[in-house]
Amino acid sequence: AQSVTQLDSQVPVFEEAPVELRCNYSSSVSVYLFWYVQYPNQGLQLLLKYLSGSTLVKGINGFEAEFNKSQTSFHLRKPSVHISDTAEYFCAVSDRPGAQKLVFGQGTRLTINP
Amino acid sequence: SAVISQKPSRDICQRGTSLTIQCQVDSQVTMMFWYRQQPGQSLTLIATANQGSEATYESGFVIDKFPISRPNLTFSTLTVSNMSPEDSSIYLCSVEGSIPRAYGYTFGSGTRLTVV
């Protein structure tokens, strides 16, 4: 069964600094990867996804992630964060897209300090 | 992507009672998923609901406690039965992208349940 590990439970950074949120998954023949953001008291919003093709995936709000098969990683990055990026971020994996459950990591709380 | 309306957004319930959560999607979808997010925790899948058949429950979740209905391709309900304070969580429904090749799971805004 798939599993996801988010290596940092909390990440504090200063505004306009770069950030990387780390995500590793258990190896599988095929894997589909997602990053979601959860703002306080809200549901989950899809930031980006990797299904196939280019290993560098660009998402909304200036975020991007790189799929690294050899390291079984899918780290999320943003070159310059804003106060509004303060939220919980979840990495998730599926064995195939569509009609298949997602397995979530434990989440990383990103806190942006002025 | 699909738009999901989930009701209620929050509720405070007495222990021993039941709450039914509704999930309405603006387009037809094959599978609907129900997740639980306990305080400060990640999301855990409760069950997968396929239209016209019994829901498939994950380990640790049973139909008597979390009965699910899926009467058509745009609607599902999750009932949390005989509630205890341990059931206090956020419950979210999710669907896969209804457009072919859009692949991306959409989530409702969640139901924040507090059991007292």
Residue B89: list chain A partners with CB under 8 A.
none
Helices (H) and strands (E) in chain B, counts: 0, 11
Among residues of chain A, what percentage have pLDDT more than 70? 96
Write the pLDDT tens digit of every residue in B76-98: 999 999 999 999 999 999 987 54
CB spacing of A97 vs B109 below 8 angstroms? no
Of B99, B94, B33, B40, the C-alpha closest to B66 is: B33
B42 vs A42: CB contact, 8 Å cut-off?
A: no
Fold adopted by B4-115: Immunoglobulin-like (2.60.40)
pLDDT value at residue B35:
95
Mutate to test the interface with A, among B5, B30, B43, B98 (most CBs of A within 10 A): B43
What pLDDT does A97 receive? 61
Residue type, B54: E
Q: Determine the average pLDDT of the residues in B89-109.
A: 76
Give the separation between CA B93 and CA B43, rounded to whole angstroms: 11
A9-24 pLDDT, tens digit per residue, is 999 999 999 999 999 9
What mean pLDDT is predicted for residues B44-64? 91
Residue B104: pLDDT above 70? no
Taking contacts as CB-CB distances below 8 angstroms, the residues of chain B near A33 are none
Task: Indicate the class that CATH gives domain A4-113.
Answer: mainly beta
Using a CB-CB distance cutoff of 8 angstroms, which residues of chain A are in contact with residue B41? 106-107
Half-sphere exposure of A88 (CA within 13 A, CB side): 19
The 3-class secondary structure across B52-96, one letter per residue, is: CCCCEECCCCCCCCCCEEEEECCEEEEEECCCCHHHCEEEEEEEC
Q: For position B99, what pLDDT does the model report?
A: 45
- Domain residue spans in chain B? 4-115
